Structure 1
């Protein structure tokens, strides 16, 4: 096998290493074919714009004439005692006094009832809330709709960007740009395509593959090391898709586990909810899968830089020792992430007078189990695949 001299890759910051022509050519050719298939998938699965426009915004959020003005809080009464017969007006509890700050009723003082959790959420005079105004007898009847949180959310977002740019600098900037691109793909392609009834698994695979191509290369640069991580990521996505499809169908999950699913069945009946569930599993595992594969690829190249005379078999073995440690910690990340999102549900299940083992088969719990285990299987298998590809593409061992 000849040595190619047209490309060099700096590993570990010490010396340039020539990559064998054949494994490099095979890897890049395979990725090029995947890129072509992905572009073809984007064209074939691109949602019908007329159908998407017809669905988007087709459901009225409120009755005609109902508005949602903001108001400034003047006083927050304490939550009412847990007494079903209690009168909030008599007890002076469970209400918020506010002044409408916009719209036709600007300057109007209102007194609205709120749930106990809103009274106890820490609202203070000067905070802003969103009201719902229903026209009645030429005036309007006000109710509490929500708390205005855009200010703190903007501060948190800006802080996130500042921290990322301050610590990661150029890499952080490229990561933010990649994140923005991922949002465009998901919201501009995947969501409309799923909404108009395109098959969930192909849509998710095409979207995830397009995201990974851009995110990995923009963040980590064009190199054989990044290409290796990309190949391992794509293999992990394929495994996740196959296992997810089997798990969803073998467990007979409907994909409708909450009010949102029931709402979609009414207004977007073209959606295949089992495919939608599998698509959610694929997209949800992108971040962790990307983290594991780029780490494994980098670890193998660092091993080659540190030990130029180490054989590829030895590099693979050493890389897998690193990968096993990474697998253990990342599985915790996946499982605890899903457990955190389902924490409220777990608390509710503790209130029932049935053993937890009897409730595992419920739609809500089974969905979380399938998500966690499917993502973990794809993740675990991506580690040896990435390590193997990296071990093949690193430079040959040098004689001592």
Structure 2
């Protein structure tokens, strides 16, 4: 009889724990829905046209898909002296417009090919053309580029499929997190910056929300997710703070960036502030790597705690630091090598022109890249002890934490 009563009591306790866990997940889900709804509302408001705003010239340009129906004349020849064998010259093309108001129309255009602008086409190739309309209503087409949309779409789709198939639920969660992050940056953060909302504050807010959203989608509502989010946000903010400090000492800010002139010309009338964009770039570029390190450390300490719930916080912290040291070097290398890869052409030019080191190290472009990459790497280094400390303290508070 006692065994029977004990068994029923144990079942009741398990049911109660399951109910509490479901309630916790439901509360987390509701919070997530509220935050997502707020982001969508902000995106709708931020992307509404401003009354009296004049459309930009770029937004009024008409670009359409077209196919080459015939090559009427081909005067291009290979140039082995200046173009490494690429064909240089002109082509007279007949094209069919595939989209837009002129869909189905046959037009002719001249394709000018040089070593740098070289769209060498044949009959049947898919291209993008710009439709130019004169004041008298007449119009003509000019060649813009190859139509790369299908190839790039398939390329990205293969990545998504492999991520979902090889990663399973985790891969699908990572994919949703990536899409959520990109959508938040494009539809919320960038409009905020254009409207002159304080750049660093807006970026920190978006970084916090996207880090929480991506990690929850990847790992669900749990204590290790909370530890990862806290460590990730603190690490990214630390990277931004270091970049701001070094930028003030150097001094360097958004006005030293290559695109500053265009941003000043076309964004200042909307209220955009240029000075904080350098730090914003550091915050965004460091987010992915810091998120990876934060989740790895938190997951490792979680597993140690699950295997041995009696481990004290100090032991968990030491283990997290030992595990994190392996990630420090690889993740720091990731950011530094990303800089080297994105700036490869510039580095080649440096050696080609034999630029003196003192000139090189004081060039705005090089200084910005060094600040961004090193600040991001420092953010990763600081994330390891921060996440290890937070995880150890929170996970060691109880014997088992779910």
Per the shorter chain, which TM-score range? 0.7 to 0.9
Q: Please name the residue that 2:287 is paired with.
A: 286
Q: Please name the residue that 1:186 is paired with.
A: 185
Q: Please name the residue that 2:124 is paired with.
A: 126
Q: Is the 8 A contact 2:311 2:396 kept in 1?
A: no
The alpha-carbon deviation at position 122 of structure 1 amounts to 7.2
Query: What SS does structure 1 have at the residue aligned with 2:57?
Result: coil
Q: Is the 8 A contact 1:72 1:98 kept in 2?
A: no
Q: Please name the residue that 2:58 is paired with.
A: 61
Q: Please name the residue that 1:164 is paired with.
A: 163
The alpha-carbon deviation at position 139 of structure 1 amounts to 5.6
Query: What SS does structure 2 have at the residue aligned with 1:300?
Result: helix
Structure 2 CA distance for aligned equivalents of residues 314 and 390 of structure 1:
11
Q: Please name the residue that 1:220 is paired with.
A: 219
Q: Is the 8 A contact 2:253 2:276 kept in 1?
A: no
Q: Deviations over 1:372-395 (max 9, x none)?
A: 111111111010110111112224
Q: Please name the residue that 1:236 is paired with.
A: 235
Unpaired runs of at least 5, structure 1: 1-6, 9-30, 85-91
Unpaired runs of at least 5, structure 2: 1-12, 15-27
Structure 2 CA distance for aligned equivalents of residues 362 and 52 of structure 1:
38
Q: Is the 8 A contact 1:236 1:381 kept in 2?
A: yes
1:71 aligns with 2:72: no
Q: Is the 8 A contact 2:82 2:115 kept in 1?
A: no
Q: Deviations over 1:167-203 (max 9, x none)?
A: 1222222222222222332122211111011211101
Q: Is the 8 A contact 1:79 1:116 kept in 2?
A: no
Q: Please name the residue that 2:25 is paired with.
A: none
Query: What SS does structure 2 have at the residue aligned with 1:116?
Result: coil
Q: Please name the residue that 1:352 is paired with.
A: 353
Out of 343-352 and 159-168, give the one that drifted further.
343-352
Structure 1 CA distance for aligned equivalents of residues 267 and 261 of structure 2:
10
**TM norm structure 2:** 0.76
Q: Please name the residue that 2:333 is paired with.
A: 332
Please provide the CA RMSD for this pair. 3.6
Out of 235-244 and 388-397, give the one that drifted further.
388-397
Structure 2 CA distance for aligned equivalents of residues 101 and 254 of structure 1:
48
**TM norm structure 1:** 0.77
Q: Structure 1 residue runs of 4+, over 6 Å off?
A: 45-48
Q: Is the 8 A contact 1:46 1:193 kept in 2?
A: no
Q: Which gives a bigger RCO, structure 1 or 2 (Cα 8 Å, sep 6+)?
A: 1
1:94 aligns with 2:89: yes
Query: What SS does structure 1 have at the residue aligned with 2:50?
Result: helix
1:368 aligns with 2:363: no
- After superposition, the Cα gap between the structure-2 partners of 1:311 and 1:56, relative to the gap in structure 1 and judged at 3 Å, is farther
Q: Please name the residue that 1:387 is paired with.
A: 388
Structure 2 CA distance for aligned equivalents of residues 307 and 163 of structure 1:
35
Query: What SS does structure 2 have at the residue aligned with 1:325?
Result: helix
Count of aligned pairs: 354
Q: How does 1:272-283 map to 2 (within 5 A)?
A: 272-283=273-284
